[in-house]
Amino acid sequence: MHKILIADKLGQEGLDRLDEMDDISYDVKTGLSKEELIATIGEYDALIVRSSVKPDADILAAGKNLKVVGRAGIGVDNIDIDAATQQGIVVMNTPHANSVATAEQTMTLMLAISRHTAVAHASVLAGEWQRNKFVGRELQGKTLGIVGFGRIGRLVAERAQAFGMNIIAYDPYVSEAVGRHLNVQLVDIDELYSQADYITLHSVLTKETEKLINAESIAQMKKGVIIINVARGKLVDEQALADGVKSGQVAGAALDVFTTEPPENSPLIGLENVLHTPHLGASTAEAQREVAIQMVEQVADVLRGVDYRNALNVPFRAGPDFATIRPYMDLAEKLGKIQHALAPSPIRNIELEVAGEGMEDMVRPVAAALLKGLLKGTHEHINTINAPVLAQQENIKIEQAYDLRQTDYANLISCRAHWNGGSRLIAGVLFGGRTPRVVQVDGFHVEGKPEGNVLIFVNEDVPGVIGQVATILATYGVNIGEWRLGRTAPGGTALNFINLDAVPPTAVLDALRQAKNVGDLYLLDL
């Protein structure tokens, strides 16, 4: 039974969905202090938060059983992703569930700040009727600069175009072709600052984007610009924006998010021509329902090992195709285990080739799984999340290779491991996309089944070796499930790949190593 701790408020629809899962239990414990969370988290397999709980390195380290931290929403700057990755904990969010709600909030604030809606409302409540005081501006014909042209930015563009606005956008990760398709011009950030009448922020928060709106960038903007932020508060230098509003360089600002929430001593609060809302971007009934349901389903899938969609620190693309990719990852992990077991000294470099029709997208997930298998013998807590990080820390290099071997198979994973003074090639396939087989170990061609207890050894290719080995196993009551053998040439050297029904006693291995014509021998648990 998987256990989930829900440490922030989550929509009832998500809890109802969890109640339907027979293999999941959960506790809702909101308002926990950091110390209380550290004392509690160790018994849970998953943690679900929103923005108020901040799983830092200390909390994550206390989560000895944690496999996934789910952020019910988009922004994950409250989660220490590096620490989570180091510990092999998946971090995921729900990037699309509240996109429409956030885009609509953006348009709401854009209209409200342009038409002085909030202050005019307060004026009427105060018994005033001052129409001339609240003359606004129209959106039609104005240029909207969108910083961050992902899903939300594109939804904002569609809605703003309906108001007759001209749209430009800045996003270094989006191609101009995408912009042309949506009738949006992609420009560099300086050009956006100089051309836009309105600027709306939809960028993720990184070290590069923190305080993106600052005194220098505000000075580049058109005089009278209006700034909207429904993304992350730390994208804006609040003092610089306040100074810009006071000077008139910025005609107005509409903010749904702040550097500290709730805002403490912010120079923007109460400032004329600045509109504030308390982080309402995702606060619609529809968005809260979708966020809650998507989050619990994603977390459940990670715990079950069936999917990693919307995971931010998985070293490969996950999603609908994961069911197809996973068998190849399982095979790659077994190849890594075999390489580790057979290597006479620490492996320093891996060449990986993934060959076959439709296999080109398998390289990254296969590489992560291969490293997991390679390092599993020396690391207690390792998975495909932290394996690449740990490999890098140990200076183990992995690179894509070509033509490691010619293949007659529909799919093939080949890896050559290098250590000081030597190397070994091991290759495997999936028959029918499901059945794993090891088909080559250096010059030996076999079709070994990489499952369960496997005995691998080499011997001189002379009569009597097979009978001798079989007799020793029989003497100790060890049954042979399957025996595959390959040899370089008649009378040369042979490699044996034997599946055993049980773990043989140490005495069996000692006897086999003493057997005539038997060379290097290894017992693996695959």
Catalytic residues: 232, 261, 279
Task: Name the H helices within 407-501.
Answer: 465-475
Instruction: Indicate the SS3 state at residue 11.
Output: coil
- Rounded to the nearest 5°, which phi and psi values hold at 300? -60, -40
Strand order in the sheet with 422-431: 397-400, 347-356, 411-419, 422-431, 435-441, 444-448
Residue 180: enclosing H or E segment and its boundaries? Answer: helix 176-181
Contact 240, 265 (CB under 8 A): no
Residues contacting 438, CB < 8 A, separation 6+: 334, 335, 338, 426, 427, 428, 446, 447, 448, 449, 450, 497
Cβ atoms 256, 277 nearer than 8 A = yes
Residue 351: phi, psi to the nearest 5? -105, 125
Could you give the CA distance from residue 89 to residue 42 in angstroms, rounded to a whole number?
13
- The Cα–Cα gap between 464 and 472 comes to 12
How distant, in Å, are the alpha carbons of 11, 66, 70, 84 from that of 7? 12, 14, 11, 17
The amino acid at residue 377 is: G
Question: Cα 443–447–451 angle (5° rounding)?
Answer: 120
Cα(first)–Cα(last) distance of the chain, in Å?
25
- Contact (CB, 8 A) for 152 and 134: no
**Residue of 289, 299, 386, 306 lying closest to 69 (CA atoms):** 299
Q: How far apart are CA 240 and CA 221, in angstroms?
A: 13
Least Cα distance to 349 among 394, 398, 389, 405 occurs for 398
Which residues have a Cβ under 8 Å from the Cβ of 327 and sit 6 or more positions away?
A: 430, 433, 434, 436
d(CA 294, CA 72): 8
Report the SS3 class of residue 198. Answer: strand
Residues in CB range of 227: below 8 A, 6 or more apart: 198, 199, 200, 201, 213, 236, 241, 250, 252, 253, 254
